[in-house]
Structure 1
Amino acid sequence: MNAATAHRPQSAPENARRNLTQDAVVIIPGIMGSELRDTATGKTVWGLSSVRWLLGAWTNPDGFAALRMTEDELEGKVGRIQPVQLMRHSAWTPYLKGCEPYTRLITGVNACAADPAAVLEFAYDWRLSVTTNGRLLAEAARRHLQTWRAHPAHDRARRARVDERPARLVFVAHSMGGLITQAALDPLNDTDLAADTRAVITLATPFYGAVKAAAILNTGRGAPVPLPHRQLQELCATMPGIHDLLPQYACVLDHNDARRLSPGDVAALGGHPELARVAADAATKRAAISLPGHRAVVGTGQTTWQSLTLSNGIIQPHCHTVRRNSDHSLIRKPDGSPEHFDVMGDGTVHKESAALGSAVTPLPLQHGAAAADRSAVKAVQELLRDDIHLGPPMGGPGCGLDTPDLATVGAPWEIRITGIATPAGVTCEVSSVDGHSSARTARLNLAKRSITARVEIAEPGLYRVTIRTRDKAQVSQLVLVMPPARDVPGGDQ
């Protein structure tokens, strides 16, 4: 060996084993992340791939009539709506904005699994309560673990792992899927499920709820709103799943104090008081359930609603929150008023609601893209491949992105980029999700506290705004562009 080759790395031998997990993996999507079908008609009522269908459904007053909760469903007689699979296409909803498909996460998980049979995609009816879906997940996870342990590929995989340990469960959960995982691990569902779980990784899970859930129930109160927002409120007003996402912390700023939402508040703002009470009780019970080997991927750096004020049943959201001392008293200014803090978040869930425990990986992500981001998928893969700690946080400085959730054809709208001082090396691209129009680069302007770009779209559709920074970080958000109100059914109402 000469000096030129002494330190040259040697390639792995051809027969080297790939670093694959022997564990059984369960992927749980967030709210609206499962395709749903009406069993009576056989029609897909949520999750079609066509952007044309998405536009039509949100601009038709009866576009989502099949998704509304029936009296039988509210009494627990479910089955009319059937979950089919995790979303394979981009979707959009007011306030929650866009949700990217789960294809990248599914592909990333399968790349680490010993066999496709080791991976379960748990689709669920997200209209129902977290408690109901938690029970169903517990049953499905138990069946999946037993089936995988009996699979021939399981024994081949465990022979290449430390101590030939048999498979345990790893839950990979996005958004509300983390709450459902926590509910599934309730010993009342399966006394041994927690012991059979090696790890839980959550992506942007609102463990303490999100102010946007309250805003959804409040839509239409006090001022005219676009048809999609009004339709979402009508859809969610009696939906247990959305009530499970209501804030479970002192989010209501009330004079010089802060308090939690009460069932009476929820009724006043447009929700269902009994569903709010049941959701609050369920959240208290879930808080006592620990998540084995938990790792939380948390979106940061995005403008996020964190608190609210209430006036005559109308909420005003705020991008700041309050904090408490160890004795539970509020941190206050010298004049006695509460100190306000902007902890930001992922655009939907503020950081302190998603960061359960100390094992947190912060990434500059928007909520709907958290399960599709390459860095987030990489964090999942590292956890799957080994039992060791994930290591230091992987998030670079990145940037924040703020867009409207809804725009109109021909009307200009603004993109706002935060967290960086200069547009040098930053690109802003706007592209249609279905490829019906070519991508365009938006011109960036340096404003007082942020970088902005004005965009005007000529055709209706679902568009993806993608920001790339010179440190190679990327953040994206979906925006639905509608025809003018006069071209929309019911638009002049």
Structure 2
Amino acid sequence: MGSVLEDAATGRPLWGVDLSMLTDALTGRGLLDALHADEEERAADTDTARRAPLARILATKLLAKPWWLPVFEGLDPYSDLHKTLTSVVLAPEAVAPFPYDWRLTVAYNGALLARAARTHLTRWRERVTATPGWSAAGWRQPRMMFVAHSMGGLVVRAALEQDPELAADTRTVITVGTPFLGSVKSVLALNLVNAQAKPTWLQRSIQSLSATLPGLHDLLPGYSCLDRGLDVERLTAADVARFGGDPDLAARSLTERARYRQEGFALPGHRAIVGEAQPTVQTLDEQQQDGLAVATGRHYAFDIDDDLELVRDPATGIPARRNTYGDGTVHTPSAQIGTEAVAYVYGQHGTLMRHDEVLRQIRRITLERPQSSHLGGDGTGPGLETPHLGGTLGQPLTLTATGLDTPAGVTLSVHSATTGRPGHPLTLRRDPDRTDGSLSARFTADAPDLYRVVLDTGRHAPLTQLVLVTPPDA
């Protein structure tokens, strides 16, 4: 969701530019309604992209300012990534950003990416081979490198699977926080109305929008994630519909998930950068509330043995549960599947592309230097937890630091992400309501705004997350 979307007919920005669409009900409802996928957009597939790409809404550029949305939380811009890449290539033109309409299917956007990447590679090869003395200098024939965040990694995989020649011309694919197995948060986004979250207008608008989007349904978890007590099940289209999604979109996406499980596809030169140690929803259970199915996220996953069977407690037969952590949105197994070359960082999903360690790893891989694993990938370390539905003006927010033995030497601060207006450090204390020894602080905003929460342990790159504070419901 990190691409700016505009109305093709009027040029009006619909997403990623004016934050008032998330804080002002009068502005927001209209813009969010305009993003609903129509019948043609819901049906768009690979053939559509190759034959006649859709043009009602255009993806014009990558996100250039901090953004936010319920459940998925903060999204940082990609300007630091672009600067990092252009600093280590022969010329800035070697780097080509690829914005895409994230509302639509991964397969559709993959076809568009394959075509754009081939055009970019051809032009760049022509430029390099036209450089006097390029062969004598020992330069190699240029090849592609993809750097993809989150859903972007799924789009790259679709592009390279659809175009084997492009895959052969690809040296490396770097994925950062890509949900190869899906993310439970997609279910929670579809379930917002049932969860009765606040502010009502925003949560209802986001849920209504989400239910129409093929792209969001493509993020549905394909692993066994629905806890039934003595068993755990994969989601079905009927489950998704019960939670507020579209059964047809869900069926198509879950079928594609099953195909990948059976056939697989190896990304060439795949290097994964994975956020870890963050409190992350990994599975869910279902409860009934006023006749509605409410999905509740759980911070654990299930162990699977070598035969892909559930590991059970030998005495009770209850499935073994284990916290695998993640980046706050994508749990660790989902982001690292399909590669043994993994670098772990302490970081939140939407802010990973501004993370100093992530940018360092990308720089090293681009220059063909060894990737360092850096962390152990065992889920231990500092984590940050913020309200995933945001906050309401006048109501205190609880901000939690996990994985720390003591608050000594640790600072937690909040400042405006839109104006840069600094805030004061908060006092971290043991949270008596939690049994994991977490440290918490309370923050009350003095104005509706997008706020950046920064946790600095003094020993690692600071952890950051964005939190939107909106006016109360009218």
Give the TM-score normalised by structure 1: 0.87
Task: Please give the residue correspondences for 1:61-460 in structure 2 after superposition, counting only pairs within 5 Å.
Answer: 61-76=29-44, 78-152=54-128, 155=131, 163-186=138-161, 189-221=162-194, 223=196, 225-226=198-199, 227-286=201-260, 288-312=264-288, 313-333=293-313, 334-356=315-337, 357-386=339-368, 388-393=369-374, 398-405=381-388, 406-435=390-419, 437-447=421-431, 449-460=437-448
Percent identity (aligned): 39
Give 1:469's match in structure 2, choosing from 457, 463, 470.
Answer: 457
1:136–1:412: structure 2 CA closer, same or farther, 3 Å change rule?
A: same
TM-aligned CA deviation for residue 284 of structure 1: 3.5
1:160–1:458: structure 2 CA closer, same or farther, 3 Å change rule?
A: farther
- Aligned Cα RMSD in Å? 2.1
Match for 1:451: what amino acid? L
Structure possessing the higher radius of gyration over alpha carbons: 1
1:63-119, CA deviations, whole angstroms, 9 ceiling, x for partnerless residues? 412111112322437210001010010001000011001011111111111111111
TM-aligned CA deviation for residue 165 of structure 1: 1.4
Q: Which moved more, 1:242-251 or 1:63-72?
A: 63-72
TM-aligned CA deviation for residue 394 of structure 1: 5.7
Q: Which moved more, 1:201-210 or 1:325-334?
A: 325-334
SS in 2 for 1:383: helix
1:24-58, CA deviations, whole angstroms, 9 ceiling, x for partnerless residues? xxxxxxxx10011101121011121x444542269
Distance in 1, matches of 2:426 and 2:473, equals 25
Aligned residues: 450
Distance in 1, matches of 2:234 and 2:243, equals 14
Match for 1:400: what amino acid? G
TM-aligned CA deviation for residue 219 of structure 1: 1.3
TM-aligned CA deviation for residue 225 of structure 1: 4.3
SS in 2 for 1:120: coil
Question: What are structure 2's unaligned runs of at least 5 residues?
Answer: 49-53
1:157–1:369: structure 2 CA closer, same or farther, 3 Å change rule?
A: farther
Report what 2:5 is aligned to: 36
TM-aligned CA deviation for residue 60 of structure 1: 3.8
Q: Does 1:56 align with 2:56?
A: no
Match for 1:407: what amino acid? G
**In the alignment, is the contact (CA less than 8 A) between 2:426 and 2:442 conserved in 1?**
yes
1:329–1:472: structure 2 CA closer, same or farther, 3 Å change rule?
A: closer
Report what 1:20 is aligned to: none
Distance in 2, matches of 1:480 and 1:99, equals 11
Distance in 2, matches of 1:141 and 1:58, equals 40
Give the TM-score normalised by structure 2: 0.90
**In the alignment, is the contact (CA less than 8 A) between 1:59 and 1:228 conserved in 2?**
no
**In the alignment, is the contact (CA less than 8 A) between 1:92 and 1:478 conserved in 2?**
yes
SS in 2 for 1:183: helix
Distance in 2, matches of 1:164 and 1:170, equals 16
Distance in 2, matches of 1:114 and 1:271, equals 46
Distance in 1, matches of 2:358 and 2:129, equals 27
Distance in 2, matches of 1:205 and 1:277, equals 21
TM-aligned CA deviation for residue 254 of structure 1: 1.5
Distance in 2, matches of 1:466 and 1:303, equals 16
Match for 2:428: what amino acid? L
TM-aligned CA deviation for residue 156 of structure 1: 7.1
**In the alignment, is the contact (CA less than 8 A) between 1:398 and 1:471 conserved in 2?**
no
Question: What are structure 1's unaligned runs of at least 5 residues?
Answer: 1-31, 487-493
Match for 1:97: what amino acid? E
